[in-house]
Amino acid sequence: MQDGVEAKQSNIPGAGVVYSNQEAWKLSDKSYLMKLGNGKYVDALHSPEVLARYINDCRGRRGGFNVYFDKRPQDGKAQVVALRDVQAGEELYVDYGRMYWLAYNLMHPESPVR
C-alpha cells in the first residue's frame, strides 16, 4: 500500500463492471467477481485501475486480515476499509469468504489451495 490508512478508514475504492445475478453467472472467468448483494455483482477483471482487485486472501499467512470490503450494492461498488492501522508498504489482506473458496476448488480441482 503506497499510503498508510488508519483503522476504520478507506482510501481505496473498489469498483468495476456491475452485473445482475443472471449476467454474472454467465461469465466464463469469475476471478475478480464479487457479490455485492441485492442481486448485484461487480467484476474488476477488465479494470486494472481498480486497486482493490489486487487485495489477496491471507490463507496460510501470519498476521491475518487487515481490511474488509464494505459492500454497497446500491452504489455498484465495495469500499476497502481497514480493520486496524495499516502502514505504508504493508500488503492488504481480506477474507474472500467460504463461498469463494468452494467455487474456486470446484473450478480448479488440481489446485493445492483449499
Q: pLDDT tens-digit profile of 24-46? A: 999 999 889 999 999 999 999 99
Q: Which three cell numbers stand for residue 1?
A: 500500500
pLDDT tens figures, 72-91: 999 998 989 999 998 988 99
How does residue 105 score in pLDDT terms, banded at 50, 70 and 90? confident
Kindly state whether residue 3 falls inside one of the protein's structural domains. Answer: no
Whether 104 has a pLDDT exceeding 90, the answer reads: no
| CATH of residue 96 | 2.170.270.10
Query: Rounded distance, CA 82 to CA 9, Å?
Result: 6
Query: Rounded distance, CA 52 to CA 38, Å?
Result: 21
Parent domain of 92: 12-107
Say if pTM beats, i.e. exceeds, 0.85.
no
Kindly state whether residue 51 falls inside one of the protein's structural domains. Answer: yes
SS3 77: strand
Q: Which three cell numbers stand for residue 31?
A: 476471478
More confident residue, 28 or 12: 28
